[in-house]
């Protein structure tokens, strides 16, 4: 069921290139016992994003881990660049976009 989502949180930079994002994804998944790439995924990064859902996002070639809290209800797309990544706040209707799309919109609105 679609509903309005409102999150505040932090994106922490994990990797800055496609190759390092792939390496970090495999390292994390292997550390939790996921040692074989499923047939439904072509890359470890794809598997990480499928397995953890919204715990990791990619913006360009960079991979970020997500720490967030659910705040409540009006569209908001805001972010601040900080030393280790971004602080963000997003509020959106999940029937029209997903979490990663909302984060990308917030990054375009850096304060």
Do the Cβ atoms of 96 and 77 come closer than 8 Å?
Answer: no
| Local confidence band at 107 (pLDDT 50, 70, 90 cut-offs) | confident
Task: Determine the pLDDT at residue 36.
Answer: 94
Rounded to whole angstroms, how far apart are CA atoms 45 and 55? 12
Give the number of domains in the chain.
1
Rounded to whole angstroms, how far apart are CA atoms 40 and 9? 30
Rounded to whole angstroms, how far apart are CA atoms 52 and 95? 20
Q: Does the pLDDT at position 111 exceed 60?
A: no
Q: In the numeric block, which tokens belong to residue 62?
A: 């960079």
Higher pLDDT, 6 or 56: 56
Q: In Å, what is the CA distance from 79 to each residue of 26, 102, 111?
A: 28, 11, 6
The predicted-structure confidence for 10-67, as pLDDT tens digits, reads as follows 889 999 999 999 999 999 999 999 999 999 999 999 999 888 877 998 888 899 998 8
Domain that holds residue 58: 4-108
């Amino acid at each position: 069921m679609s509903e309005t989502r409102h999150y505040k949180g932090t994106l922490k930079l994990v990797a800055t290139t496609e190759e390092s994002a792939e390496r970090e994804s495999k390292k994390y998944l292997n550390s939790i016992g996921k040692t074989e790439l499923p047939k439904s995924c072509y890359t470890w990064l794809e598997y990480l994003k499928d397995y953890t859902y919204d715990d990791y996002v990619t913006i360009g070639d960079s991979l970020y881990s997500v720490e967030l809290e659910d705040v409540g209800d009006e569209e908001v797309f805001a972010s601040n660049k900080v030393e280790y990544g971004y602080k963000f706040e997003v509020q959106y209707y999940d029937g029209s976009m997903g979490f990663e799309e909302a984060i990308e919109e917030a990054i375009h609105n850096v304060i």
